[in-house]
């Protein structure tokens, strides 16, 4: 059984494990005040090409989302998210548990635009309703699409005009930035969003998300929020060492590139087989639509999510590739799919 179920099936890239071993017996300060975390933060600032940002390392995506949003919003303020947004449907009400409503917005491709947001602002006019304050976007999105630079510029301008916060969930930022269709650089982000994070967990780390706070007004006292939400690891070095390794050279991008390449291989070959896709996804998640019979056949050798029923005979499945996906397994999957289609 080979899994295309997600991008966190394996452990960590070997050089990360090596770095953990090499540093293992050094004594370090706790709670993210160790040398590795400090160096990782400095290194990330170099890569982002900006010094005037605050960077905090957390364990996972839900933790990062809830800690950041709870810190950024006042009690009556709400987040807005595409209906596919991770915080809306896959985090067990983590944001609401901190007291904030999330306003769900239908968006065909999983991406928010000013034209989708305007009606929401128009409908929230007075104190009998929450005050929409933060736009939550994911890049890449939960359905594999990515934001282009001009789309983010439009969102940024819209936020400025309406005094809103723009927050980017970057659990899969690596894959987005390494997509063939991408025109964004990591260093573009501080000009475009108020805060974002760089996902390590789904791109080669054991755990780890690097939250980058760009807007000054959101920076104050953030470490208090980390501690309060249980996000400050005693052995914070575990996070620092991993991000150092990911960004020391080009590892972070190399890994994302590999994941994308594997997805591209699937996309190209499946297209040749006249298979349609639920969404246009130029990143490491693809959603081919296949017959239920084919699904049953594939499930004998592969695990993956059945994403959505399309009609009585067909469903979209989700195939996710990662830094660890093996090319021969992708090739074998394609072959097996061809065979399944013949019957």
Q: Which of residues 30-49 bind its own copies (CB under 8 A)?
A: 30-31
Q: In what order do the strands lie in the sheet with 195-199?
A: 54-58, 209-213, 195-199, 165-169, 131-138, 77-82, 102-105
Please pick, from the candidates 231, 244, 256, 266, the single residue that binds its own copies as defined by CB under 8 A.
Answer: 231
CA pair distance 279, 107, nearest whole angstrom: 12
CB nearer its own copies, residue 35 or residue 156: 35
Stated as kind and residue range, the H or E segment containing 80 is: strand 77-82
Please give the C-alpha separations between residue 15 and each of 2, 51, 214, 242, in angstroms, as whole numbers.
24, 27, 30, 9
CB contact burial 4-19 (16+ within 10 A = b; e otherwise): beebbeeebbeebeeb
Please list every residue from 200 through 219 that binds its own copies, using CB under 8 A: 201-202, 206-207
Stretch binding its own copies (CB under 8 A), from 179-187, 199-207, 252-260, 285-293: 199-207
Asked whether position 101 contacts its own copies by CB under 8 A, the answer is: yes
Stretch binding its own copies (CB under 8 A), from 43-51, 61-69, 141-149, 266-274: 61-69
Asked whether position 24 contacts its own copies by CB under 8 A, the answer is: yes
Helix axes 35-48, 237-248, angle to 10 degrees: 40
What x-and-dash track marks residues 259-298 binding its own copies by CB under 8 A? Answer: ----------------------------------------
CB of 301 to its own copies, least distance (A): 13
Stretch binding its own copies (CB under 8 A), from 4-12, 290-298, 309-317, 334-342: 4-12
Number of H helices, E strands in the chain: 14, 14
Asked whether position 232 contacts its own copies by CB under 8 A, the answer is: yes
């Amino acid at each position: 059984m080979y899994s295309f179920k997600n991008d966190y099936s394996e452990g960590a890239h070997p050089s990360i494990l090596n770095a953990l071993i090499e540093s293992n017996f050094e004594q370090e300060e706790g709670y993210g005040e160790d040398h590795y975390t400090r160096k990782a933060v400095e290194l990330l600032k170099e890569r982002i090409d900006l010094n005037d940002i605050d960077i905090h390392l957390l364990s996972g995506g839900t933790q990062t989302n809830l800690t950041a949003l709870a810190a950024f919003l006042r009690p009556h303020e709400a987040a807005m998210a595409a209906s596919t947004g991770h915080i809306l449907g896959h985090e067990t009400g983590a944001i609401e548990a901190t007291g904030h409503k999330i306003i769900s917005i239908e968006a065909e491709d999983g991406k928010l635009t000013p034209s989708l947001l305007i009606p929401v602002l128009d409908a929230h006019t007075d104190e009998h309703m929450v005050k929409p304050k933060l736009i939550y976007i994911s890049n890449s999105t939960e359905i594999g699409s990515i934001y282009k630079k001009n789309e983010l510029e439009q969102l940024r301008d819209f936020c400025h005009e309406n005094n809103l916060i723009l927050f980017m969930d970057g659990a899969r930022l690596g894959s987005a930035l390494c997509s063939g269709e991408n025109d964004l650089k990591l260093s573009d982000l501080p000009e475009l969003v108020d805060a974002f994070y760089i996902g390590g967990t789904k791109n080669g780390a054991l755990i780890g998300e690097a939250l980058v706070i760009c807007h000054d007004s959101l920076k104050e006292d953030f470490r208090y929020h980390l501690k309060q939400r249980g996000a400050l690891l005693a052995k914070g070095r575990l996070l620092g060492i991993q991000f150092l390794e990911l960004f020391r050279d080009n590892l972070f991008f190399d890994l994302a590139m590999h994941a994308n390449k594997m997805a591209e291989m699937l996309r190209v070959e499946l297209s040749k087989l006249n298979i349609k896709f639920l969404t246009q996804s130029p990143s490491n998640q693809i959603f081919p639509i296949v017959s239920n019979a084919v699904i049953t056949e594939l499930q004998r050798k592969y695990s993956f999510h059945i994403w959505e029923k399309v009609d009585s005979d067909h469903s979209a499945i989700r195939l996710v590739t990662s830094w660890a996906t093996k090319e021969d397994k992708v090739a074998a999957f394609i072959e097996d799919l061809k065979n399944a289609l013949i019957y």
